[in-house]
Amino acid sequence: MDHKVGLGYDIHRLVHGRRFVLGGLEIPFSKGLAGHSDGDCLVHAIIDALLGASGLGDIGRHFPDTDPRYKGISSLRLLAEAVDRVKRKGFEICNLDSIVVAERPRLSPYIPKMKKILGPALGLGDDELGIKAKTNEGLGSIGEGRAVACWAVAAIRVKRGGKKA
């Protein structure tokens, strides 16, 4: 089969004293996402979707959070490396869709800017990359503003003229 899909999920705690970085974009907010890297759980979910589709495992295998090289790193650098590994395995990315679940801040005004960052990083046009933001209706840890969760699904295919991986 020339087409494959992958699913990614990630959740990070919202804590004081951290920058809030999501989809590669720094967003003004009183809290930020905890994490070994910049905590960008949208990019982490996207990476897991891509690696999963390619049969390459998961983000923890490629970029372990025990590795000091990744401390405080921009997740966009991890994404660039993940995209490179997917391409080296002989695939190209067809499209990617994602959902961010956050009670606050309101994220919809920032989605166009996230797409301007992530589109080129993934080699995808505007209508090939989906980012949707929603609240958790006040329910659970996300609804209480203690965490942000993200889902992503990626479709990839064997590169035209390339070998099947």
Residues that bind Mg ion (CB under 5 A): 10, 44
Task: State which residue, 121 or 158, has the beta carbon closest to Mg ion.
Answer: 121
Task: Tell me the angle at which helices 75-88 and 111-122 cross, rounded to the nearest 10 degrees.
Answer: 40
Least gap, CB of 41 to Mg ion (angstroms): 5
Gap between the terminal Cα atoms of the chain:
10
Residue nearest to Mg ion (CB): 44
Task: State which residue, 64 or 109, has the beta carbon closest to Mg ion.
Answer: 64
How many whole angstroms separate alpha carbon 78 and alpha carbon 80?
Answer: 5
Least gap, CB of 165 to Mg ion (angstroms): 26
Least gap, CB of 112 to Mg ion (angstroms): 24
Task: State which residue, 38 or 103, has the beta carbon closest to Mg ion.
Answer: 38
Strands of the sheet with 147-158, listed across from one edge: 32-33, 3-15, 147-158, 91-101, 129-134
Task: State which residue, 81 or 92, has the beta carbon closest to Mg ion.
Answer: 81
Least gap, CB of 95 to Mg ion (angstroms): 22
Given its phi and psi angles, is residue 23 left (phi above 0), alpha (psi -120 to 50 degrees) or beta? Answer: left
